[in-house]
Amino acid sequence: MSSTEQGTSSAAPAEPTTAPESAAAPEVPESFYYVHGKDKVVHKVSAGALQHSALIHGMISNLGYTEEQAKANPFPFENIDGDILQMVVDWCNQHKGKPTPPEDTNLPKQKEKLFDLVLAVNYLEIKELLTYCCKQVAMMVKGKSPEEIREIWMIPTDAEDEAAEKEAKKRAGKEAAGETAAAAGDAK
Amino acid sequence: MPINILSLPSKDLQYALDCMDIGDLVAFSLCSKRTKNLVESSNRQLYRFAVLVYENRIRFEMDVGTIETIYDRVFLDIFDFYIIRLGDRTQVWMRQEFNRSDWIAHLMNIFNDSMITFLSIENDSLSYLDTIKLFFSKMSHPSYQ
């Protein structure tokens, strides 16, 4: 015991004779689950860290996997890039069982990664991380002019929107006509 | 590399808009009709919405927050064809097809649910009257000067 600790303990009330309950109780071994992204690299994540994801938490609750079963059947997230899933796993591990701080400075600064992260986090239903990511997206255009915002966020002009809408209508019309012709062919 | 914000899931896009400052939100609303509609449907509430009519311009002062804490404030000076955002980085936003009434209509539309809390008219020329009339229906109480 250090001198500081000794000093503190002498001033403190007498310690209870029995050991604290938490120390006496046998520790419950933490269960782990496995996830993989598009790159098939498997990440081992504790159930505590995965609590952040409402989607995975729901999957775990419904499946009732044992650790062996979980190891043999990693949760596949084929729509998420490996590096993005790694970021999500790291974030969940860092914030396991901790209250989430109001700001998170560890998020990626590269815009394209941030966008993929938003999509992944939205899919995995990690509310706190989604909040940080959306704030980061908003920060991209802080103090920018409409022209700069249009460029950063790839916003089409009204003319481009109208042209895209016309094109979509034309395509839908063609598809509908094709389906009608196919149905008529089937009837014959 | 730019990102396509409009392809985000609508809930996330809405949250990103909720995180934006008022001035940035106005700038975003000026990008296209679609972005204007998005800002309009985000229903951002202003705590204080003051309009000051001067000889050569109309100033909009918009605050977000509460009486204790104003955490976001923007000043916009409206002219024909352009608007000036005052602040650390003063900006001029141009719209050749806009006149003063169009700017005002745009701003009143995007903050549709917010009432004007203060109106000061320091120019009583008749040419301005039609423009000023736009404000009367949005007054929260008759406290104009």
Prediction ipTM score = 0.85
Residue B61 to residue B54: CA distance in whole angstroms: 13
Q: Are A108 and A117 in contact (CB under 8 A)?
A: yes
Tokens of A181: 């012709």
CA B52 from chain centre, in angstroms, equals: 13
Mean pLDDT, range B95-117, rounded to an integer = 86
Mean pLDDT, range A19-39, rounded to an integer = 71
Q: Is the pLDDT of residue B142 over 70?
A: no
Q: Which fold has domain A27-143?
A: Potassium Channel Kv1.1; Chain A (3.30.710)
Q: Which pLDDT value is given to residue B75?
A: 94
Sign of CA dihedral B90, B94, B100, B105: negative
> What mean pLDDT is reported for chain B?
84
pLDDT band at A72 (very low <50, low <70, confident <90, very high): confident
Which site among B13, B20, B21, B110 would you substitute to test the A interface, given the most A Cβ atoms closer than 10 Å to its Cβ? B20
Mean pLDDT, range A49-58, rounded to an integer = 88
Q: Is the pLDDT of residue B1 over 70?
A: no
Other C-beta atoms closer than 10 Å to the C-beta of A115 total: 21
Q: Which pLDDT value is given to residue A131?
A: 86
Q: Which pLDDT value is given to residue B100?
A: 87
Q: Which pLDDT value is given to residue B37?
A: 95
Residue predicted with more confidence, A101 or B133? B133
Measured in angstroms, the CA of A5 and the nearest CA of chain B are apart by 43
Q: Which pLDDT value is given to residue B66?
A: 63
Is 0.90 topped by the overall pTM? no
Q: Are B18 and B42 in contact (CB under 8 A)?
A: yes
Q: Which pLDDT value is given to residue A99?
A: 67
Q: Which pLDDT value is given to residue A8?
A: 37
Interface of A with B in 150-169 (CB under 8 A): 150-158, 161
